[in-house]
Amino acid sequence: MNDGWKYAVAGALAGAALSIAIIFASAAAGILPVQLSTPSRDAAVKGYLTAHPEILIEMTDKLQEQQAAEETRARENAVAKTGMAAFFDPKVAFVTGPKDAKTTLVEFFDYNCPYCRASIPAVKKFYEAHKNDARFAFIEFPIKGENSTEAAKAAIAARRQPEKYLAFHFALMNEHELVTPELVFAVAKKTGLDVAKLKADMNDPAINAEIEAAHELARKAGVDGTPTFIINGKVRPGAVEEGMLEKLAKG
């Protein structure tokens, strides 16, 4: 999820360090069942941890859960402060579905993000089931280099052929290769887009402005990776599997 493995590793290391600090502090306070008296405290705690490594694992897991919950709350507060209307601005997203829908789904994505690709079966199934009763906002959020930026420019330009956009989007997201300009145009042709018009529209300065607007919106909303879903105002970063979006929409 969103290059997030780097942050997960860093978080795990930080959590482990904090867990150790807590354990030593607990030992010093006499909470742990070890006999402590300086200078034997460190050796005693080390011996206790060696005999009971599950304690450190449990504490680290708990700390990570708390950290994730705090990050989710912060994102949801940022989304609420930003206001949902900002995510359904046609200058930022491809928007479809009834304006008065009770269910709303926003997705920030990158065409070269493996977790976005892994999520596409679930996203497409949810879309097909709810295209008439839910409001969708698909937001190009290229964060994986020049190829991703070019793909996003093409997708934004494809919004100017709106009846073809979703077929193009889903087909491009279903690719297994690196999405390059050559592949983008091949998929565009395959899905019925006017490729000459697409290329011309990609040169419009407004396209770059829309990408910048998407990045600015992401900063305001605390979105820092792909995919990130916002379902009925609730933030769900990372890949989703079949059935998860239905559950999140009902929850």
Q: Which domains does the chain have, with CATH numbers?
A: 4-76 (no CATH), 85-250 (3.40.30.10)
Cis, bond preceding 33 (omega within 30 deg of 0): no
For residue 236, list its beta bridge partners.
229
Determine how many CB atoms are found less than 10 A away from the CB of residue 143.
20
Place of tokens 């490594």: 53
pLDDT in tens, the chain (251 residues): 444 444 444 444 455 555 555 555 555 555 555 554 555 666 766 777 778 778 777 877 787 778 777 887 888 899 999 999 999 999 999 999 999 999 999 999 999 999 999 999 999 999 999 999 999 999 999 999 999 999 999 999 999 999 999 999 999 999 999 999 999 999 999 999 999 999 999 999 999 999 999 999 999 999 999 999 999 999 999 999 999 999 999 98
Classify each residue of 84-123 as buried b or exposed e, where b means 16 or more C-beta atoms within 10 Å of its C-beta.
eebbbeeebbbbbbeeeeebbbbbbbbbbbebbbbbbebb
Q: Spell out the residues 6+ positions from residue 135 whose beta carbon is closer than 8 angstroms to its own.
A: 88, 95, 96, 97, 98, 99, 101, 103, 104, 105
